Structure 1
Amino acid sequence: ICDGSSSIIILQYSFLLGIGILQVNYRGSTGMGSDNVEYLQGRVGTTDVIDCVTATQEALEKYPWLDPERVGLSGGSHGGFLVAHLSGQYKNMYKSVVARNPVIDIAAMFTISDIPDWCAAVINQPYRQSFSGEPKCYAEEMTIMMFKCSPIVYADNVKAPTLVCIGKNDLRVPPSQGKHWYHRLKANGVTTKMLVYDDNHPLSSGPVEIDEIINAALWLLEHLKVNI
């Protein structure tokens, strides 16, 4: 299962390696009108996760040649957020994970990201540059809400070997997010590896993209025990 931002070349490469791909157009994605896009606000970390799990279960039921013991996850940005959530909330379903520049703790990201408005939108709150004039408890409540819908809440549940790929120049999802996930999993004894690239959020410069694609494929092949 992978996020919808994956390029055609990545999909073709995965097919050639014998990896089946499921791309989930979860509620909140584009293509189904504004109501569908806006539906996710206030439901991030719940609805999108449930949709991915439902799609996984449907695919396994519909295509009996798929092996339920060899289901992996790959995603970047919000896709990275989702694969981290899925590996924590459904630890027995997914066996290997690749997370690229994943959002891990929205509360911690709020003041250091170049999209703080997104952090507010995920909890269905308006973005304010200043909390002056607001009750003190308002900022505290927002912080708690952001934290509660973040993957870090489920970090101690994760069992799947996880590869974290981050760009050290990322302003959108700062590299501290991926590092936090890596160190937390490492401390819990989860098989974990982190690749740090001299790149920004998309990890799309030529050499970086190719290196990340190859390492991600090798990680999935190894931990899903795929023979090629």
Structure 2
Amino acid sequence: MTGTVAYRSAAGRWVLLATVLGSALAFIDATVVTIALPRIAEDLDATTADLQWTVNGYALTLAAFLLLGGALGDRLGRRRVFLVGVVWFAVASVACALAPTVGVLVAARVLQGVGGALLTPGSLAILQSTFAGDDRGRAIGAWSGLGGLAGAAAPFLGGWVVQVADWRWVFGINVPLAALVVAVALRHVPESADPGAQARV
């Protein structure tokens, strides 16, 4: 099935939905949390340094493990590593939402970054292996454009969540989205790997 899915087919739309929503989890959380920082500081008695680590702890691990996430997907299966990243991200999001102290929140954000690093390269690699030719370019373009829209909407989403609910729901909303991604990916996303990848990471 690898490389044979048509962009305009139902199968293609399902693959695009799973990859866009999966990567959107990581993109949105990179910015949406900044809107909630004043409420976090008030609730957890956090200092400016604490708040900086709440943001940077996520960004640093996300950037540091991106290449590893891509390499693991090539060797172990792109869908498999993508799903591990989505579930990892969801579990870390629950830990963020339930964090009793700012130290626990920062640690959970670091773990969130690792999950994001596993799922983000996997989403793009799935598109590259599932579609071929012009359809691949269309799929990647749609993935990029929709991901950009998600990133642009994140501050508005974060502001709305903080206004109508507790700051913890900024992280809690990741869980149903992650569940949807897992359900769609298990049913509609084909597995692929790079047979030429080196055995060692």
What's the TM-score once normalised by structure 1's chain length? 0.25
Higher RCO, 1 vs 2 (CA within 8 Å, ≥6 residues apart) = 2
Richer in helix (by share): 2
Q: Which has the higher strand share?
A: 1
TM-score when normalising by structure 2: 0.27
